[in-house]
Amino acid sequence: MATVEGDQPRVRPFGTVHIFEGKLYIQTGKKKDVSKQLHANPKAELCAFKGGEWIRVAGQLVEDDRVEARQSMLDAYPGLKKMYAADDGNTEVFYFKNGVAIISSFTHEPKVIKF
């Protein structure tokens, strides 16, 4: 996932992506730099590659402070429960607002999905 810190792009792998109430969510900890970056500038982009296709997802990330949203993410990724709890004061989840996903490959035209 790419964020911005000042005028410097920051990227890191992200493994926690989840659909909750029809929205695309990510999870992090409030103590992490990515959290601070998202609160300062909520624009972010994800990318992934598999089997000759790649996807880019861009949008504005909005924090969802409901315990139900945090718990849903933890239930989807049980391994996170070793480090996080829905009510630990550190776990936070964000959902994409005004998202655009572009699925591309070298063999077909890009597919654009707005959500």
Where in the sequence is the domain holding 33, given as residue range(s)? 2-114
CATH of the domain at 81: 2.30.110.10
Q: Report pLDDT for 16.
A: 95
pLDDT computed for residue 110 by the predictor: 98
> What tokens does 29 get?
């900890």
Half-sphere exposure of 30 (CA within 13 A, CB side): 12
Q: What is the pLDDT of residues 26-51, one digit of tens each?
A: 999 999 999 999 999 999 999 999 99
Task: Give the model's pLDDT for residue 43.
Answer: 98
- Residue 65 is predicted with a pLDDT of 98
- Give the number of domains in the chain: 1
With a cut of 70, list the residues of the chain below it in pLDDT.
none
For residue 93, what are the β-bridge partners? Answer: 27, 64
pTM for the model: 0.94
Query: How far from chain centre, in Å, is Cα 113?
Result: 16
Q: Are 4 and 43 in contact (CB under 8 A)?
A: yes
Euclidean distance between CA atoms 16 and 13, whole angstroms: 10
